[in-house]
Chain A
């Protein structure tokens, strides 16, 4: 089946630093990738949608300058949290969709803790 990986699985960083999270589709080409954020005991909130080679589309209230998304290839998308603050601590989950319109596959998530 389709597999999506994320790296790292967890990261701790100091306030003010930047952190990059990678999302890879391992056995399919992802024309569209999504980034979600999940707070404890809450649902997934879509942050942004990206198509390969295009700028990401951010959801309302998500700072595009703070959460930089790059979808440089059909198998890789990155989320960079710039100048991280403790309130950015969360569980970040990426998702990838191949050319078909049905399926969307999820990565295992990345736990970010900003101290």
Chain B
């Protein structure tokens, strides 16, 4: 079964500095990888996904993520953090082989705090 690990519970960065939120995954086949953001008492908002193709994926709000198959990682990055980026970030994976009802499995989440 697929699984996701987010090794950091908390990431703190200063506004204007680059940020990285780490994610590693485990699947038996090829992965579909996703990043979502959650604000307090809200549902999940989609940021970006990797299905196939270019390893560098660009998403919403200036975020991007790099798929690294050899390291089984899909780290989320942003060149210049904003205070408004402060939220809870979830990495998720789906295993596409074999396809059936394969659901998403989520990491534990990483709380990003951007300080002015």
Contacts and interface: CB of A to CB of B under 8 A. Distances in A.
A28 interface: no
Interface string B19-45: 000000000000010101000011111
A111 B101 CA distance: 26
Contacts of B34: 104
Interface in A99-113: 101-109, 111
Nearest to B44: A106
24 contacts: A34-B103, A34-B104, A42-B108, A42-B109, A43-B108, A44-B44, A44-B90, A46-B104, A49-B101, A49-B103, A51-B101, A95-B104, A101-B96, A102-B32, A104-B34, A104-B104, A106-B43, A106-B44, A106-B45, A107-B43, A108-B42, A109-B41, A109-B42, A111-B41
Q: How large is the interface on A (under 10, 10 to 19, 20 to 34, 35 or more residues)?
A: 20 to 34
Contacts, number: 48
Nearest to A10: B41
Interface string B93-105: 0101001010111
Nearest to B6: A43
B105 to A, nearest CB: 8
Interface in A19-59: 32, 34, 42-44, 46, 49, 51, 57
A46 B36 CA distance: 16
A103 B34 CA distance: 10
Contact of A43 (B32, B90, B101): B90
B44 A93 contact: yes
A58 to B, nearest CB: 12
Given A34-B103, A104-B94, 18 more contacts: A43-B90, A43-B106, A43-B108, A43-B109, A44-B106, A49-B101, A49-B103, A51-B101, A91-B41, A95-B104, A102-B49, A102-B51, A104-B34, A105-B46, A106-B43, A108-B43, A109-B42, A111-B41
**Nearest 8 CB-CB pairs, A to B?**
A108-B43, A106-B44, A109-B43, A43-B108, A106-B43, A44-B106, A43-B106, A49-B101
